[in-house]
Amino acid sequence: MSLAVGVVVPAFRPDVERLTTYVRAIDETLAPETIRIELDDPRDRVAAALGDLPATVHVSPYRRGKGAAVTAGFEALDTDVLAFADADGSTPPTEFRDVVTAVTGGDADLAVGSRRHPDAEITSHQTLARRFLGDGFAWLARRLLDADLYDYQCGAKAITRPAWEQVREHLYEPGFAWDVELVAMAGALDLDIAEVPITWEDMPGSTVSPVGTSIALGRALLTARHRAKQIRNSRVHNAIAATHEQPTALVDRDD
């Protein structure tokens, strides 16, 4: 029995032409049950320009962040498999299909696209600063988390619905650090994670500053490790958590 696939594309002030082309290509290549664009941009002209796409466009009146947008999109879907791809189109539709297939084929609970895998191919490199920070972050994450991957931040992932039901209540990061939090929680819950090498092209126009966000990403990694240790029932981390007011998970927030 084939599994129904739902795709979420989180977007903040996207290049409309690029996003339009990308969504149509995803539809043609994957033929998913549904595509949902989570648009963090209140400008009417952007939503109107996307109106003819084979997708549902949900517009937020404020910037929620990537993590909150993908979470909201996943919660709105009722498909067997939930997948997302970043709106810049850095992961070609054929490569995104490979990520989704790793889940629909029954080989993994969570599939993670990987730009840094030895078998990955980079057709257009990031700046030296982005590569340095990205490689350093991946090196550190491998040593702190239960998931041993080459790449934690690539914007192409897919997860089964049962696996999503397990991890959803452990996700708190509303922004770009959501990716690593998802992987960290999946590893702590002993879910089967597949790392899928992809062909990837860096796209200009990122809304994330490589230097300005590096400290925030490092803090998010430590927080994800702390929460993963709690799932593992670490006495030390449970004791630390007991001394602090716990935040509200993304799925339980009203905004």
Q: Which amino acid is at 228?
A: A
User: Of 98, 107, 209, 201, nearest to 157 (Cα)?
Assistant: 98
| Euclidean distance between CA atoms 18 and 128, whole angstroms | 25
Alpha carbon distance 230, 112 (integer Å) = 23
- Domain hosting 110: range is 5-252
pLDDT in tens, 27-47: 999 999 999 999 997 776 888
Q: Which CA distances in Å does 99 have to 9, 33, 37, 149, 181?
A: 15, 16, 19, 15, 18
CATH code (residue 48): 3.90.550.10
Task: Give the mean pLDDT of the chain.
Answer: 89
Number of domains composing the chain = 1
Q: Which amino acid is at 234?
A: S
For residue 193, is pLDDT > 90? yes
- Tens-place pLDDT, residues 71-100: 999 999 999 999 999 999 999 999 999 999
Residue 124 pLDDT > 70: no
Is the pLDDT confidence value at 120 over 60? yes
Q: What is the pLDDT of residues 213-251, one digit of tens each?
A: 667 788 889 999 999 999 999 988 888 888 888 889 999
**How far apart are the C-alpha atoms of 177 and 217, rounded to whole Å?**
6
Question: CB of 176 within 8 A of CB of 214?
Answer: no
Name the pairing type of β-strands 110-114 and 121-124: unpaired
What is the pairing mode between strands 110-114 and 156-160?
antiparallel
- The secondary structure element, H or E, covering residue 188 is helix 178-188
Q: What average pLDDT score do residues 100-128 get?
A: 84
CB 85 within 8 Å of CB 155: yes
In this prediction, residue 255 has a pLDDT band, given cuts at 50, 70 and 90, of low
